Amino acid sequence: MNKPQEIVLAEPRGFCAGVDRAIEIVERALQKFGRPIYVRHEIVHNTYVVNDLKSKGAIFIEDLAEVPPGATLIFSAHGVSRAVQDEARARGFSIFDATCPLVTKVHVEVAKLAREGYEFIMIGHKGHPEVEGTMGQLDHGIHLVEDVADVARVQPAQTEKLAVVTQTTLSVDDAAEITAAVRARFPSIREPKQQDICYATQNRQDAVKLLSPQVDLVVVVGSPTSSNSNRLRELAARLGTPAYMIDSVDELRHEWFDGISRVGLTAGASAPEVLVQAVITRIKELGAVAVRKLDGIEETVKFPLPKGLKLDTATGLEITERPPETGPGGH
């Protein structure tokens, strides 16, 4: 049987700015306040990251009743509903919000347009915490559609003031198809000035589109709960390349590589590079001799930390003021 000869790495892959920031918020809170630090929901959807933070003293909970009075609580990168925010404040926790700023942008837009009398169609996956958080910005008037068929069934109370919003981690192509169906049914619907799907989701999917035709197999590093990682695997398969998603190197199967010459490798936005490197090592053990990185967009986006968690890296002292971060916004 032929064994793999070359590993081709997608670019960009792995951590995005929102994930980097969320993990850093938990680590800084542990450093500043000591253990335990409570986190509502997995900070990001990656098993390795969550287990690493657990070992450092983070406790992940779903129900705020599990958090003792006066404790420090962090909201996950996916965002939370108004009800969760209100309950956390009422219980008197010290709160840090690790919601990705690109999710917060959607929350702000929903709140603003709701005040102007708008109802909403939300494109997303039922039960995903980001969808629950965005829909939970309002107590009524926001309707979830998961596919084109749902668009025909949705019944807003009025259509004069209707806007569409999107989960940030969807398939770009699927979202475009569903948005087109929404537009066809509600021609006057208001769309966001900039798409809600974030720069990192878009860039990683574009990289898989470039990668897939050049390889015989695509391996995506990501956890089963990670929406954007699942979309990468689906996209490669849709483009005609066999594709597997793995949570860790132990899930690799030797038989996947029989008769395979080139292996494409990428990682979801919540998957750390250490896992990618472990996969490279394992595939090299199976015979691969070359590792090549595709050209791709270099991401320079960085999001500032919340007040109260900014430390001077040189001195370890807290910074109270700092110049605003600069860098290109989402695409």
- Hey, which residues are catalytic here? 130
Number of C-beta neighbours around residue 131 at 10 A: 22
Long-range contact set of residues 233-238: C-beta below 8 Å, sequence gap at least 24: 234/171, 235/171, 235/173, 235/205, 235/208, 235/209, 236/208, 236/211, 236/212, 236/264
Give CA 176 to chain center in angstroms.
Answer: 19
> Of how many residues is the chain composed?
331
Amino acid residing at 62: E
Phi, psi of 135 (to 5 degrees): -65, -30
Q: Are 89 and 144 in contact (CB under 8 A)?
A: no
Phi, psi of 276 (to 5 degrees): -65, -45
Distance (Å, rounded) from C-alpha 88 to C-alpha 38? 12
Distances (CA, A) of 17 to 249, 300, 301: 24, 8, 6
**Is the bond leading into 12 cis (omega within 30 degrees of zero)?**
yes
- DSSP-assigned beta bridge partners for residue 217: 263
Give CA 262 to chain center in angstroms.
Answer: 28
Distance (Å, rounded) from C-alpha 197 to C-alpha 325? 22
